Chain A
Amino acid sequence: MFEQLINGLTQGSVYALLALGFTLIFGTLRMVTFAHGEVYMVGAYVGFEIIRLLAPSFMLAILVALAATALLGVIIEILSFHFLRDAPHVTSLLVTIGISILLINLAQLIWGPETKSIPYALLDQLDYGEFEIWGVYITYLQIAVLMVTVLLMTALYLLINKTKLGMVIRATAQDYEAAYAMGVNVNVVFSMAFAIGSMLGGVAGVLIGVYYNLFYPTMGQLYGLKAFSASVVGGLMSLPGSVVAGLLIGVIETFAVEFGASSLRHMISFLFMILILLFRPSGLFGGKELIQARGD
C-alpha cells in the first residue's frame, strides 16, 4: 500500500507540475493553452540532447530546458494571444491546438517518430542512487520530482502574493486595461506569465523524461490532458488547488490499478474528475483563488 502511495505521488507530481503551468497561464491571461503538453515534450527532448551530447548533468539539462521552454512560451504567447487579444477566446484556443500539432510534427521530423532513450552508459553516470524504506526502494530522482513540485509551487505562491512583480501580474489578471492605464506594460506581463508557466512544463519534461528514460513526440498528449483536468479540478486559478488535484489524480489512478483492472485506470481518474466537478463546479479550491477573478 505504501509503495503504491509513493508510485501515485510520483505520477501525481508530474500532473501537478504541469497543472501549475496551466493555472498560472489561465490565471493571468484567462486563456487555456492546449500546447502545454507539447512544451513539456520539447523540454524533455532538450534535456535528452543536453545529456546525450554535452554532459550527463541534471542541472545543466534543466537549466537549458528552462531557457528553451521559456522562449517557446513567449513565442506561443505572441502567436496565440498577443495578436488575438480582442478576438474571441476560442480563436486563441484553436491556435494553441494548431501549435501543439505543429510541435509534435516538428519533433517527429527532428527526432523521428520512434521512442528514444538515453544510452545506458550515460544514464549510469547520472546515478542518482536510491534508499530502502519498509522494503520499498525509492530513488532520489523520485524525491527530487516531488521536492521540485513543492518548491516551485511555494516559489510561485510567494512570487504572486509577496512581490511587486506578483502584484503587477495580479493587477493585469484582474483588469489588464486598468493596469495598462496605471502604467503597467501588460505585454511584458503576459509574456512573462506564459514564459514562467512554460518553464514549469519544461522542468517536468526533463524530470519525467529521465525518470522513465523514454522520449517520443506524443509524450505530452496524455499528460497535457491529465494536467489540464487537474488544473480544472483544482479550481483553475488556485496554485495549491492544482497541486493537490494533481497529486490526488495520480494516487487515485494508482489505486485504481491496485484494486481493479489496470486497463481502467484512466477511466477511473477521469470519472473522479467528473464527480468532483458535479459537486463542486468551481473545483476543489475554486472559492479562494489566488488570482481573483475579474470583478464582473
Chain B
Amino acid sequence: MFKKMMRFAAPILSVLLLLAGATITAHAGDSVKIGLSAPLTGDWAEYGNDFKRSITMVFDKVNKEGGVHGKQLQLVIMDSRGDPKEAVLIAQKFVANPEIIAEIGDFSSSCSMAAAPVYEKANMTQLSPTASHMDFTKKGKNMFRVVTTQGIEGPFNARWAVKDLGKKRIATIYINNDWGVDANKFFVQEAKKLGAEVVAQEAFVPGEKDFTAILTKVKRLKPDLIYLPAFYADAAAILNQAKRMHFKTTVMAPGSLFSEKTIELGGKAVEGLLVAANYFNTDPRPAAQAFNKAYQAAYGKEPNMFAALAYDAAGLMVAALKAAGVNDRSKIRFALEGLKDYQGATGTISYANGHDPEKELLKITVKNGKWVVYNP
C-alpha cells in the first residue's frame, strides 16, 4: 500500500520541489553549498579539472579562515562531460537541492546556455568562468561570466592581426558549435571592417580528426594568417597535419588554446602560435601573482587561464556571499551586481554595466616549446 502511494507521491513531490525552488531558502546548518557543473571526463576534462582545483583551493582557504558568515563552504561537484543534456540534468538536481545556494559552471557555452533556463526559473545565480557565447548572459537575470566574450576577444584579435601584424589574406578554421560560430563571426566582422580579405571560413564538426581535406583547400588560397577558434586536441591535430603537408603560415587563436596540453599534443607544429589570453603566469599585476603563488603551493604546477578564471569565479562567489548572506538564493545576483572593481587574477571585474566584464587581454605566443609574452 505504502509502495503504491509512493509511486504517485514521488513525481508530485518532485514537481512541487521544483516549483518551490524559487522561494526555497537554504537549510540551517553549519555549511553552505555551491554547485559546480563542469566536464570532468571527455575531451574537455582537462578544463573541468582546472575548475575543480582552483575552486577547491579558494574554498579551503576561506574555510580555514572561519568560512562565510560562520558557515563552511562546501562544493558539490557534478560531471557534465561537456554534454548539454547532462548539464540540464545537473541544473535540475542543483535547483531541487535547497542546500545549494548558487552554481559555478559550466565550461562550454553550449552546456551553460542549455542549463541557464533551469537556473533562471529557480532564481539561482549561474556564474560561468568560461562561457563566452554572447547570448549566455542574455538568457536571464541570474547569468554571469568571468571570461571576456568573443564579442570583445574576436575584434581584439582582428585588430592585432590586421592593424599590428599587417595581414591581408585571412582564412579561418573553426569548431562548429555555439562558441566557435561566434568566435569566427566577431573576428571576421572586424577583420573585414579593417580591410582584410577573408578567403575561407571552414567549419569542422566536433570530434573530427582528419583535417587534411580542409587544409588542402585552405593552402591553395595562400592565406597569410589562419584564425583558429578551436580547442587544444583539435588545434594540435590541425597544425600537425598542416605541418605534414608543408603548409606554413601565421596562426592566431582565441584564449581557448592557452594550455600546456596544446604544446604537449602540438609539439613543433604549434611554434609561433599567437593567442590573446585572459590570464598569463608572468602577468605582473599583484592579484595575478598572488594567485600564481597560491596555486603552485597547492598543486606544484603552473596554473593556466582556465584555472585563473575559475579562481576568480570562486572569489567573486565568496565576495557575493559575504555581501548577500547565505540564506537566500535570489540575493546573490544583486550582491554580484553591487561588486565594484573586484581585483581578480584575470583583471579588474565589475558587473554594474552588464553581466559581461570588459578586460584588457594579454598577447602571448609559443616560443621554443613554451608560452611566453608576445614581443613584436
Q: Which of B141-149, B237-245, B288-296, B352-360 sits within the interface?
A: B237-245
- Would you call A114 and B43 a contact (CB within 8 A)? yes
Which of B42, B202, B213, B268 makes the CB contact (< 8 A) with A7?
B213
- Would you call A212 and B237 a contact (CB within 8 A)? yes
- Would you call B212 and A10 a contact (CB within 8 A)? yes
Query: Does B23 sit at the interface, judged by CB under 8 A?
Result: no
The answer to whether residues A113 and B213 also contact, given A213-B240, A214-B233, A262-B204 and a CB cut-off of 8 A, is: no
Task: Give complex CA distance A10, B244 in Å.
Answer: 14
Q: State which residues 203-242 of B face A: CB under 8 Å.
A: 203-205, 207, 209-210, 212-214, 216-217, 232-233, 236-237, 240-241
Q: How far is the CB of A212 from chain B (nearest CB, A)?
A: 6
Closest Cβ neighbor of B269 among chain A residues: A120
With a cutoff of 8 Å between Cβ atoms, the chain B residues found around residue A214 in the complex are 209, 233, 236-237, 265
With a cutoff of 8 Å between Cβ atoms, the chain A residues found around residue B3 in the complex are none
Query: Does B301 sit at the interface, judged by CB under 8 A?
Result: no
Query: Does A258 sit at the interface, judged by CB under 8 A?
Result: yes
Closest Cβ neighbor of B42 among chain A residues: A113
Which of B45, B176, B265 makes the CB contact (< 8 A) with A113?
B45
Task: Give complex CA distance A212, B264 in Å.
Answer: 14
- Would you call A262 and B43 a contact (CB within 8 A)? no
Which of B214, B232, B245, B268 makes the CB contact (< 8 A) with A257?
B214
With a cutoff of 8 Å between Cβ atoms, the chain B residues found around residue A216 in the complex are 43, 233
Query: Does A265 sit at the interface, judged by CB under 8 A?
Result: yes
Query: Does A127 sit at the interface, judged by CB under 8 A?
Result: no
Q: State which residues 244-279 of A face B: CB under 8 Å.
A: 253-255, 257-258, 261-263, 265-266
Which of A117, A136, A258 makes the CB contact (< 8 A) with B213?
A258
The answer to whether residues A258 and B244 also contact, given A7-B212, A11-B210 and a CB cut-off of 8 A, is: no
- Would you call A257 and B205 a contact (CB within 8 A)? no
Task: Give complex CA distance A120, B264 in Å.
Answer: 9
Task: Give complex CA distance A8, B264 in Å.
Answer: 28
Task: Give complex CA distance A76, B159 in Å.
Answer: 57
- Would you call B213 and A257 a contact (CB within 8 A)? yes
Query: Does B261 sit at the interface, judged by CB under 8 A?
Result: yes
Task: Give complex CA distance A214, B211 in Å.
Answer: 13
- Would you call B203 and A262 a contact (CB within 8 A)? yes
The answer to whether residues A137 and B245 also contact, given A262-B213, A263-B203 and a CB cut-off of 8 A, is: yes
- Would you call A266 and B205 a contact (CB within 8 A)? yes
Q: How far is the CB of B238 from chain A (nearest CB, A)?
A: 11
Contact with B along A209-238 (1 / 0, CB 8 A): 000111010110010000000000000000
Task: Give complex CA distance A261, B212 in Å.
Answer: 14
Query: Does A91 sit at the interface, judged by CB under 8 A?
Result: no
- Would you call A257 and B203 a contact (CB within 8 A)? no
With a cutoff of 8 Å between Cβ atoms, the chain A residues found around residue B43 in the complex are 113-115, 216
Query: Does A161 sit at the interface, judged by CB under 8 A?
Result: no
Contact with A along B36-67 (1 / 0, CB 8 A): 00000111011000000000000000000000
Q: How far is the CB of B215 from chain A (nearest CB, A)?
A: 9
The answer to whether residues A4 and B42 also contact, given A114-B261, A213-B240 and a CB cut-off of 8 A, is: no
With a cutoff of 8 Å between Cβ atoms, the chain B residues found around residue A163 in the complex are none
Query: Does B4 sit at the interface, judged by CB under 8 A?
Result: no
Query: Does A185 sit at the interface, judged by CB under 8 A?
Result: no
Interface centre among B213, B233, B237 (most CB of A within 10 A): B213
The answer to whether residues A115 and B265 also contact, given A214-B233, A263-B203, A266-B205 and a CB cut-off of 8 A, is: yes
A contacts with B: majority SS: helix
The answer to whether residues A265 and B213 also contact, given A115-B233, A117-B265, A214-B233 and a CB cut-off of 8 A, is: yes
Which of A114, A123, A219 makes the CB contact (< 8 A) with B46?
A114
Query: Does B195 sit at the interface, judged by CB under 8 A?
Result: no
Interface centre among B41, B210, B264 (most CB of A within 10 A): B210
- Would you call B217 and A257 a contact (CB within 8 A)? yes
Closest Cβ neighbor of A123 among chain B residues: B267
Interface centre among A117, A222, A254, A265 (most CB of B within 10 A): A117
Query: Does B7 sit at the interface, judged by CB under 8 A?
Result: no
Q: How far is the CB of B235 from chain A (nearest CB, A)?
A: 11
For chain A, the count of residues having a C-beta within 8 Å of the partner chain is 35
Q: State which residues 20-46 of A face B: CB under 8 Å.
A: none
Task: Give complex CA distance A233, B120 in Å.
Answer: 48
Query: Does A154 sit at the interface, judged by CB under 8 A?
Result: no
Query: Does A98 sit at the interface, judged by CB under 8 A?
Result: no
Which of B45, B203, B213, B268 makes the CB contact (< 8 A) with A4?
B213
- Would you call A254 and B213 a contact (CB within 8 A)? yes
Which of A117, A258, A265 makes the CB contact (< 8 A) with B216?
A258
The answer to whether residues A263 and B41 also contact, given A4-B216, A7-B216, A214-B233 and a CB cut-off of 8 A, is: no
- Would you call A263 and B237 a contact (CB within 8 A)? no
With a cutoff of 8 Å between Cβ atoms, the chain A residues found around residue B214 in the complex are 257, 262
Q: How far is the CB of A163 from chain B (nearest CB, A)?
A: 36
- Would you call A262 and B212 a contact (CB within 8 A)? no
- Would you call A11 and B212 a contact (CB within 8 A)? yes
- Would you call B268 and A120 a contact (CB within 8 A)? yes
Q: State which residues 77-124 of A face B: CB under 8 Å.
A: 108, 112-115, 117, 120, 123
- Would you call A117 and B236 a contact (CB within 8 A)? yes
Query: Does A187 sit at the interface, judged by CB under 8 A?
Result: no
Task: Give complex CA distance A180, B42 in Å.
Answer: 47
Task: Give complex CA distance A225, B53 in Å.
Answer: 37
With a cutoff of 8 Å between Cβ atoms, the chain A residues found around residue B176 in the complex are 263
Q: How far is the CB of B181 from chain A (nearest CB, A)?
A: 10
Q: Which 5 A-B pairs have the closest CB atoms?
A: A257-B213, A120-B267, A263-B203, A7-B212, A113-B41
Interchain Cβ contacts under 8 Å between A and B, 25 examples: A3-B245, A4-B213, A7-B216, A8-B213, A10-B212, A11-B213, A108-B41, A112-B45, A113-B45, A114-B43, A114-B45, A115-B43, A117-B265, A137-B244, A137-B246, A216-B43, A257-B214, A258-B216, A261-B203, A262-B203, A262-B204, A262-B213, A262-B217, A263-B205, A265-B205
Given A115-B265, A257-B217, A266-B205, 17 other A-B residues pairs in contact with their CB atoms under 8 A: A4-B217, A11-B212, A112-B45, A113-B41, A114-B43, A136-B245, A137-B245, A212-B209, A213-B240, A214-B233, A214-B265, A216-B43, A216-B233, A257-B214, A262-B203, A262-B204, A265-B205
